[in-house]
Structure 1
Amino acid sequence: MFLLRTVLFLLLAAGLAAPVSAKTLVLEEFFKGRTVGKGVFESRIAGVNRPFTVYLNGQWDPKTFTLRLREDFVYDDGERDTKTWFFQKVADGRYVGQRSDVIAPANVRTTSDGAIRFSYIAQLETENGPLLLRFDDTLEQVNRRTVRNTARVMKAGFTIGTVELTFTK
């Protein structure tokens, strides 16, 4: 047993073995209560680099299996916005997500590697009228206090930007 532990430790230290304790992200566990995210929307096509902070407040209702997740965005340029997601748990590792600016419910699923993935189309209001954008999100738990969110932002099937966001408890 000692030899097995020593070999495993050496492999992990050398980066040759995956960590055994990779944790599956559970939305209602991580996002319950207060969370802060720091991120940036970046579009090389449009020459945009827009940092922001998002303050989240998550409330889990065990009777309806619903996570209400309020997001208060503060952009570095001073703009503010609020969005509220409702994630209803429909099975272990599966949710349906809804938000007022999202066109259709998003199917949210936990992947075999413990990450959460979902895709949705959001309608953003601009000075030139509404704009429909698709977001493909991946959330990965880094440790018990940190989740990384990466998203591709697409218009008409073409990637126009990315979102990199780190949530911390």
Structure 2
Amino acid sequence: MRLTSRSSWLALLLALSLLGCASAPTPADYADQKPQLDLRQYFNGPLTAHGMFTDRAGRVVKRFKVQMVGRWNGDQGVLEEDFSYSDGTKQRRVWRITNHGQGRYTGQADDVVGTAEGHAAGNALQWRYTLRLPVDGKTYDVQFNDWMILMDQHTMLNKAAMSKFGLHLGDVTLSFHKP
């Protein structure tokens, strides 16, 4: 395609600028969706999750299973996660979560840099944090943008985009099951 006129160039620039203006979803977009997600209720007691890491091309790099137990005391929660990976490795993460009301949550864990920030509305939670991730004997600080969607009282799906320096590295997909 050859653009020769000034109006053609302007039309192309306008189209490209509109592509850049597409807004990312926010938790408020899901405010009317049911069932209502309450982290204190869903992450209370035992849960199991199955998941996988995929690279930026979509290839499955690693699969895993997570056994979890959540406990809440008022607005303070602890979520213990025990990971078993397809390559035989194990990992443990313990989240300390605070419910600040109005769908706002914060969390901390030993391998999380700083504080995780979460916003929930309707059946969705967006959870953002930086994870100190061990890879081949080195550690990297990787940003996670998690979206958790409650499907029903027993099932929640989670998709997390991983990035570093703004570059997409891959995704983590999980299916949580609460008995």
Q: 1:4-39: per-residue Cα shift (whole Å, max 9, x none)?
A: xxxxxxxxxxxxxxxx87112111100100000011
**For residue 177 of structure 2, what is the aligned residue in structure 1?**
168
Partner-residue secondary structure (3-state), 1:29? helix
Whether the 8 Å contact between 1:61 and 1:67 is mirrored in structure 2 is yes
**Deviation of 1:127 (Å):** 3.7
Q: Distance in 1 between matches of 2:76 and 2:140?
A: 29
Matches within 5 A, 1:83-98: 83-98=93-108
Does residue 157 of structure 2 align to residue 148 of structure 1? Answer: yes
Does residue 120 of structure 2 align to residue 110 of structure 1? Answer: yes
Query: Mind listing any 5+ residue stretches in structure 1 that lack a counterpart?
Result: 1-19
More moved, 21-30 vs 95-104: 21-30
**For residue 139 of structure 1, what is the aligned residue in structure 2?**
148
**Deviation of 1:45 (Å):** 5.0
For normalisation by structure 2, the TM-score amounts to: 0.77
**Deviation of 1:100 (Å):** 0.9
Q: Distance in 2 between matches of 1:158 and 1:106?
A: 20
**For residue 45 of structure 2, what is the aligned residue in structure 1?**
33
AA at the equivalent of 2:93: K
**Deviation of 1:48 (Å):** 4.8
Describe the shift of the 1:78–1:139 C-alpha distance in structure 2 as closer, same or farther (beyond 3 A). same
**Deviation of 1:47 (Å):** 5.3
Partner residue of 2:63 out of 30, 51, 55:
51
Query: Mind listing any 5+ residue stretches in structure 2 that lack a counterpart?
Result: 1-31
Identity %: 29
Partner residue of 2:110 out of 100, 105, 110:
100
Q: Distance in 2 between matches of 1:21 and 1:130?
A: 38
Partner-residue secondary structure (3-state), 2:37? coil
**Deviation of 1:95 (Å):** 0.9
Describe the shift of the 1:48–1:29 C-alpha distance in structure 2 as closer, same or farther (beyond 3 A). same
Partner residue of 2:86 out of 65, 76, 83:
76
AA at the equivalent of 2:155: T
Aligned length: 147
Higher alpha-carbon Rg: 2
Q: 1:77-123: per-residue Cα shift (whole Å, max 9, x none)?
A: 11100001111011131111111111111111113x43000211111
Partner-residue secondary structure (3-state), 1:143? coil
AA at the equivalent of 2:77: L
